[in-house]
Structure 1
């Protein structure tokens, strides 16, 4: 049986021409949207979402190109731009009756959430980003052999053709590598969930590559334009991340503070898949964020 988020309804919601998102929705109260990372689906929130649904309407979509959501062919570099994916999220919330909502994202979902916060400050009341850096900062700090942990960023940035062909030749080995290595030996991802992630990724190689490729092109251009133009995150922001800065030689909190004046930055030892390895801690931090005044 395919794993689900217990107690949540599954819905399919049109968000753009020819694109619908699959989402799990549960609870009642102020809306909170949770965005998953790579190589996962909305199932990564299966522990956190029910806890927060006690007093919030929690919406857990599969991002465009992932899971059971639509996977349009990349007609150009805008198809999987984070701006486009952020627009999907805002359209999803509106279709479910929410003009304003809190937003949290992990990994790739955190980059979508970041873009939504910059592009839609009137809609996003609170923002949480888990275990990422903003795209320009990510590329700036990747150097030397220590950065080999991010080898996939460079592979997936290559022009269309080679990355898709290589990954399609051994998708379970490729995606399974990250599920195993990034779990830090923790038993956070049960076999049934791991199988669901691999099955979803196996069906989405071109769109996942296109998502990553955008971060080396159009996403970077959008973020640099905002940074140079002084656009900043206006809402309360919480960032939870592993202390990659100790290994790569940067101050993560300082990098984030340049984007988010109202920032709570927390270094944690919960591993990359923190919502699965330490759901109580993640839920507590999200509750603390939601309690902050949004001005």
Structure 2
């Protein structure tokens, strides 16, 4: 696999086997207790470049490209939806940490990466010491919250939930327009994603349309089933949890903090005034939140 360009300065890049025939591109820097950072859509591990550099002063910081994204492998979607189930992707993350010598680690995710982190926290509670989620709801709650005309903001969720074929063809017909739409719409500071980084994101997405769609399709199927099973079993996140979110709950008519509290008894929840790409728009605030979380007893 080619190394992602540009890269996080000072970080070493590894290609780590996490499952049969699946290798992830992983940036690693710093020394100290481990922290794994998972990117969101439509980005790669590069979204953490500012936060990762700060945390690397006293932590081992691990930034993978999720399977299906960036310079990581993009296996074909299985008929049963398991290839891009968040359960599968969470197992990838645990495998990455173990390959680097860490059986226990803190985990933070943004957007899609936060859904993977959430599933890792439920499936691997003995491995995750602390968990942070940026600007997302757990999958089950997200679908419950989307209703009426306000759900138009999430049109891409419904598009990519469709059976294989149509969404892939539609997005592949104009990938830069599709993925660029979200980079433009969801941010509040265009300078936060400079041209070389934006180009890297669009290049990566253009090469990953089927796997990105498969990731979203899983969140309309198998991921919902996994969340529902955990809710019915009363399973919750046992580690300290921090959540940063925009105040889009007010517009859609739900209480984001209450929804998270049902899953995470040891919760710190904060509503922020910057855009969706908060690790790039407000890296100092995000890093402060993560450091505060890491200081809480696990």
TM range (shorter): over 0.9
The alpha-carbon deviation at position 2 of structure 1 amounts to: 2.8
- 1:175 corresponds in structure 2 to 179
1:126 equivalent to 2:156? Answer no
Say which SS state the counterpart of residue 57 (structure 1) adopts: strand
CA contact (8 A) 1:240 1:267 kept: yes
Alignment of 1:96-175 (within 5 A): 96-175=100-179
- Asked whether the equivalents of residues 188 and 274 of structure 2 are also in contact (C-alpha less than 8 Å), the reply is no
Give the equivalent residue in structure 2 for 1:227.
231
Report how many residues are paired: 294
Counterpart check, 1:15 vs 2:37: no
Tell me how far apart the structure 2 counterparts of residues 50 and 56 of structure 1 sit (CA, whole Å): 10
Superposed displacement of residue 147, structure 1: 1.8
TM-score (norm 2): 0.98
8 Å CA contact retained: 1:35, 1:105: yes
**Distance of 1:244 and 1:135 partners within structure 2:** 16
Measured against aligned partners, the alpha-carbon deviations of 1:226-281 in whole angstroms (never above 9, x if no partner) come to 01100000000000010111101111000000000000000001210000000000
Counterpart residue number, 1:256: 260
SS of structure 2 residue aligned to 1:4? coil
- SS of residue paired to 1:128: strand
Report the equivalent of 1:288.
292
Runs of 4+ aligned residues of structure 1 deviating over 6 Å after TM superposition are none
5+ unaligned residues in a row in structure 1: which ranges?
none
Q: How far off is 1:184 after superposition?
A: 2.5
1:76-87 to structure 2, matched below 5 A, reads 76=79, 77-87=81-91
CA positional deviation for 1:185: 4.6
> For the residues of structure 2 that align with 1:185 and 1:13, how far apart are their CA atoms?
34
Alignment of 1:270-281 (within 5 A): 270-281=274-285
Structure 1 segment 19-58 matched on structure 2, within 5 A: 19-58=22-61
* SS of residue matched to 1:264: strand
Q: 2:93 — aligned with what?
A: 89
Structure 2 segments unaligned to the other structure (5+ residues):
none
**Are the counterparts in 2 of residues 65 and 72 from structure 1 also a CA contact under 8 Å?**
yes
RMSD over aligned CA atoms reads 0.9
Whole-Å Cα distance in 2 between the matches of residues 144 and 186 of structure 1?
30
Residue 206 of structure 2 aligns with which residue?
A: 202
Distance 1:66 1:186 in 2: 22
Indicate conservation of the 8 Å contact 2:189/2:281, yes or no.
Answer: no
TM-score by length of 1: 0.99
Matches of 1:85 and 1:191, distance apart in 2: 29
Aligned equivalent of 1:191, options 187, 192, 195: 195
